[in-house]
Amino acid sequence: MAKSFTRLFFSLSILAIAFLAVSTARYTPRPNSRFLSQAFDVPGNYTYVCDASRFAALGLDMKDFVYCDSSLPYDVRVKDLVDRITLEEKARNVIDVASGVPRIGLPPYKWWSEALHGVANVGSATFFDEVVPGATSFPNVILSAASFNQSLWKTLGQVVSTEARAMYNLGHAGLTFWSPNINVARDPRWGRILETPGEDPLTVGVYGVNYVRGLQDIEGTENTTDLNSRPLKIASSCKHFAAYDLDQWFNVDRRHFDAKVSEQDMTETFLRPFEMCVKEGDTSSVMCSFNNINGIPPCADPRFLKGVIREQWNLHGYIVSDCWAIDTIVQDQKFLDVTSEEGVALSMKAGLDLECGHYYNDSLATAVREGRVSEHDVDKSLSYLYVVLMRVGFFDGIPSLASLGKKDICNDEHIELAREAARQGIVLLKNDNATLPLKPVKKLALVGPHANATVAMIGNYAGIPCHYVSPLDAFSELGDVTYEVGCADVKCHNDTHVYKAAEAAKNADATIILVGTDLSIEAEERDREDLLLPGYQTEMVNQVTDLSTGPVILVVMCGGPIDISFAKNNPKIAAILWAGFPGEQGGNAIADIVFGKYNPGGRSPITWYENGYVGMLPMTSMALRPIESLGYPGRTYKFFNGSTVYPFGYGLSYTNFSYSLTAPTRSVHISLTRLQQCRSMAYSSDSFQPECSAVLVDDLSCDESFEFQVAVKNVGSMDGSEVVMVYSSPPSGIVGTHIKQVIGFERVFVKVGNTEKVKFSMNVCKSLGLVDSSGYILLPSGSHTIMAGDNSTSVSFPFQVNYHN
């Protein structure tokens, strides 16, 4: 979302709410009072609506309002609330800065808060001041994803939501947070890769499920029978639906881009994380994106909003637009040349419940009166919204969360988790001659534009951190450090500072060079044009390395991949670490790994392409599979078989592991009835084609699973963690399918000489299903290959799917 408008929009929204409150009732806004008192002159501090003393202070009797009767089901209470509101008032409450209805005791509510990797200061509801000066800033998502640690992802969500709820109790945040970003990183140039869990749809989905569960779940209520009444710690929103992965590439921008996506790619790649987020994560919301999909704006597409998200996936919550998406539909895209009233009618009828913007406020009531959309549709949207607010305690409070406060923000435990998350994600890309962990040295040179990084480490959608620990801070605590910037900033426009950096390396026992990008290079509304280090950074690295007299360690901070082949192939650069954007504790995490306090175990969640790759295809080509007629290569590890700097899933350790396989299930036999038909699949001419090539997954019970166990032994000399990645490859000869795909993963800690057994149980349909060119999900018969581990340490076995009548 466009942060450049946030302050202006926030200010105008406050003025609008103030005007509304004064014009409709006798209450005066108090912007500096507690959250629920912002629009009412009410003595005392209130953290939920249905407080009898609050109603009394408003001159109202709470007993007169059924919507505050907590003994009744949410749907009954919400109906009472919606029935009391006029059409004009309804229009003012389906936007992100909702005005409330003062005459019935309903206060304003600001829907927009962010919690991508900590509570952010983006949005209208969250702010920091002397009461809450900061919140814990964890690594950006791309680095946390590199840990491939599902329990860590959930724990991060739990801690972020604890701080968010504490800030709400202190009047500094809302209860609805529009996170996480679960768009798949299709193209390495995309500026928002840092916000995402990477390029693999399953990994992205698993991250989303765990983070959402961490944000939302209240212990003991996760399996509530009626999910529409399940209490929420805070409410999340999975975004941006869908096929959104281009912001500003040359003259193409997200507000005008029409993503031409096949049904195959949509089902297989772009929708899968969202389906998991709704079905398995039980997210409270989905946000639709700016870009068109095959000529239709997602925020006005009933097929996706009502048909898929609401009905097929059974969303328990609301659908919200990306900010100013209706403005984009009407003004930028000029979709169907609709007027404002026609635009809001299209979106509301399509299933867009909440607009981040102003069009619903300005034009929805008129659209209803003109017969373009029914008031019943507006009522349904309000019902979805108010049920979520009831579940999250806005109306009744949640007693178990009421004590959260300042002590629960930026405490030692949370700051240590930020350090641990960064350590778990950092990836060791190169380590010649076991240079790392580095032995203690007398003189250390620390050079490069990120050597003293602070703000750059927290990346995008960040708040104010508790406390920065830069690399310079961390290494200076451990010895004698000479610091030289090398480049004035990451754009490194000239070599002015290179000489001093090289001299520092010449006189040091070891040199650490910290390079990479920041939000001036890759960010929202800023895609890259190449995959090279910016400006003179490469020259700086080479010159510093040439003059160094001790080992050189290169640390790269970036979100998307960078072609660092020059460093990979330089024998004087002994080790390379990728640190993503490591959060407020990034300096400590890097130092912990360099000096061996922590053994790196991260794996790259993206493919590190060579720079020439981006010259082979435009960013606007959405196809994942190669397009041979145009000479376009495939995308992601699933469909690209060319050379890379580092492949997806790559990562080294200070120790070594060996794998062995125990008792795998090797086949499944599925009996078909006369109602289940075999489907044909395209095979290459020289391949064997089974009599029954495949069956539609929707026609199968999909109860079958296969199990196996991987024994991971630490055969090295240091305790460490290993990520066991499990892939499947389809039967040979099927045309147009993936090379391999991730079907599971588990991170396991193994002490030296010990063996840990990791058990996997895989659903046959989910793990081995393929999406055909029409978008159907099929389960092919034949011999599938299951592989655990990477190419250097792996075990594999065939798994046979057989159909018979």
680 and 571 co-located in one domain: no
d(CA 702, CA 770): 14
The total of other beta-carbon atoms located within 10 Å of residue 31's CB is: 10
Q: Which amino acid is at 262?
A: S
At 632 the three-state DSSP class reads strand
Answer whether residue 181 is part of any domain.
no
d(CA 362, CA 95): 10
Closest CA to 435 of 573, 287, 580: 573
623 and 768 co-located in one domain: no
Does residue 259 contact residue 288 with C-beta atoms inside 8 Å? no
Answer whether residue 762 is part of any domain.
yes
448 and 536 co-located in one domain: yes
At 689 the three-state DSSP class reads coil
The total of other beta-carbon atoms located within 10 Å of residue 98's CB is: 22
Residues facing 557 on adjacent strands = 516
699 and 767 co-located in one domain: yes
Name the helix (H) or strand (E) containing 385. helix 375-391
Answer whether residue 12 is part of any domain.
no
Answer whether residue 326 is part of any domain.
no
Residue 349 burial by Cβ neighbours in a 10 Å radius (0-12, 13-18, 19+): middle
Query: What token pair was written down for 505?
Result: 């390396």
Residues facing 445 on adjacent strands = 482, 511
The total of other beta-carbon atoms located within 10 Å of residue 694's CB is: 24
624 and 686 co-located in one domain: no
- CATH number, domain of 688, equals 2.60.40.10
What is the pLDDT, as a whole number, of residue 43?
57
Residue 322 a catalytic site member? yes
- CATH number, domain of 509, equals 3.40.50.1700
Helices (H), strands (E): how many in the chain? 23, 29
Report, as ranges of residue numbers, the positions in the chain whose pLDDT lies below 70. 1-44, 791-792
d(CA 570, CA 576): 11
682 and 587 co-located in one domain: no
Query: What token pair was written down for 570?
Result: 């330089």
Answer whether residue 791 is part of any domain.
yes
Does residue 239 contact residue 182 with C-beta atoms inside 8 Å? yes
503 and 539 co-located in one domain: yes
d(CA 580, CA 586): 9
Answer whether residue 776 is part of any domain.
yes
Boundaries of domain holding 773: 654-801
620 and 672 co-located in one domain: no
The total of other beta-carbon atoms located within 10 Å of residue 672's CB is: 15
Answer whether residue 150 is part of any domain.
no
Residue 403 φ/ψ, nearest 5 degrees:
-85, -10
Residue 575 φ/ψ, nearest 5 degrees:
-145, 150
What is the pLDDT, as a whole number, of residue 791?
61
Answer whether residue 161 is part of any domain.
no
582 and 719 co-located in one domain: no
Does residue 38 contact residue 172 with C-beta atoms inside 8 Å? no
599 and 702 co-located in one domain: no
622 and 659 co-located in one domain: no
770 and 721 co-located in one domain: yes
Does residue 803 contact residue 692 with C-beta atoms inside 8 Å? yes
What is the pLDDT, as a whole number, of residue 42?
59
Number of domains in the chain: 2
Q: Active-site residue among 200, 245, 322, 527? A: 322
208 CB-near residues (< 8 Å, 6+ apart): 180, 182, 197, 238, 273, 276, 277, 281, 283
Closest CA to 761 of 664, 675, 686: 664
Query: What token pair was written down for 445?
Result: 């040179």
pTM tops 0.75, yes or no = yes
